[in-house]
Structure 1
Amino acid sequence: MKSTLRGLMFVAASASLAACLSTPAVALADDTPNSCDALKRIVAAAPDGFTSLRPDDGNAVARPYGHDAHCAVKAGAYSCTWTNGTNEGANAGSAADALQGVAADIAACLPDATHDQNSPGRQHFYIGARGQRTQITAMTNGAGKLTLAVSGK
């Protein structure tokens, strides 16, 4: 009797394991790209003119502050514009508050960046020596809009 019960338990456990192994991976909340990874990827793409980026690579930068990011590579720069607070979890404050949050993200994620302008409507950082700098600018853009622009020289 005990050996039959053990055999049934083994078969059930084997079937459960097989079902788990054959089930497709489930996306978890922490599988989503984070803003630090996105900022690092964007800055790293500056030397090649951002050709390795897709428009949605910047969405993770905007996600804490809004969900409607529109990003593109234009004339040697990568830029994203979004509306502040367009998602339920977004910063409900002003665009100026969100701008301060984006600047804090840049400073925390890119410790080699020099923060050389801090105003209510514009935050500017750069990485690298003169003539080879990557410029990072976050700014308010009209009522409730924010823009992140990264350019490389």
Structure 2
Amino acid sequence: MNRTRHFPAALAAASLSAWLGVVLPCSNAYADDAPSPCAALKRIVAAAPGGLSSLTPDDGKGVAQPYGDDAQCSAGHGSYQCMWTPHHDAGSNADALQAVAADVASCLPEATHNQNSPARQHFYVGAPGKRTEITLAPTGSNKLRLVVSGK
């Protein structure tokens, strides 16, 4: 008999929890919850080398989003590129370049990092003839460029 008296209270508590989940969907979000660029990087690299032209400008924005809000991306026959201005809190262009390169290295552990300099970061995935190249470099005085190409 005690079970039936507690059932309405349990139902009310469950309903309140569900309602709070709808009304307050971001209640567990924190200011430092930046989107991960891994999904975008993996999607772009998976399209290479032959399907880069099928990507949309939005496909690459996730790579830049933790570091800049003005990403302009485009797909061509043999390459996909994005260019953006790093946030002021990202430090210098060289610091932002290193941060994006660290994302590439952690998101794509199969990639070989064969150039690491303040002027250029270069990775590749795959064997010659079916290789995907990932290049990060500063461009202009305050922009970064990501180019993914199939060779």
Q: Please give the TM-score of this superposition, normalised by the length of structure 2.
A: 0.79
Who is 1:41 aligned against?
43
Give the C-alpha shift of residue 25 in structure 1: 9.3
Count of residue pairs brought into register by the alignment: 147
Moved more, 36-45 or 131-140: 36-45
Identity of aligned pairs, percent? 54
In structure 2, relative to structure 1, the CA distance for the partners of 1:48 and 1:24 (3 Å cut) is farther
Equivalent of residue 72 in structure 2, options 70, 73, 94: 70
Task: Report the 3-state secondary structure (helix = DSSP H, G, I; strand = E; otherwise coil) of the residue aligned with 1:102.
Answer: helix
Q: Residue 49 of structure 1 contacts residue 152 of structure 1 at CA under 8 Å; is this kept in 2? A: no
Q: Match of 1:45, as an amino acid?
A: A
In structure 2, relative to structure 1, the CA distance for the partners of 1:113 and 1:10 (3 Å cut) is closer
Who is 1:61 aligned against?
63
After TM superposition, the runs of 4+ consecutive aligned structure 1 residues lying more than 3 A away are 5-21, 23-33
Q: Residue 41 of structure 2 contacts residue 104 of structure 2 at CA under 8 Å; is this kept in 1? A: yes
Structure 2: unaligned runs, 5 residues or longer: none
Give the C-alpha shift of residue 116 in structure 1: 1.4
Equivalent of residue 87 in structure 2, options 74, 85, 88: 85
1:2-151 alignment to 2 at 5 Å?
9=9, 12-13=12-13, 15-16=15-16, 19=19, 23=22, 26=25, 29=29, 33-85=35-87, 90-91=89-90, 93-151=91-149
Q: Match of 1:46, as an amino acid?
A: A
Give the C-alpha shift of residue 60 in structure 1: 1.7
In structure 2, relative to structure 1, the CA distance for the partners of 1:14 and 1:116 (3 Å cut) is closer
What is the CA RMSD across the aligned residues, in angstroms?
Answer: 3.1
Q: Please give the TM-score of this superposition, normalised by the length of structure 1.
A: 0.78
Distance 2:69 2:60 in 1: 11
Q: Match of 1:57, as an amino acid?
A: D
Moved more, 48-57 or 71-80: 48-57
In structure 2, relative to structure 1, the CA distance for the partners of 1:101 and 1:59 (3 Å cut) is same
Structure 1: unaligned runs, 5 residues or longer: none
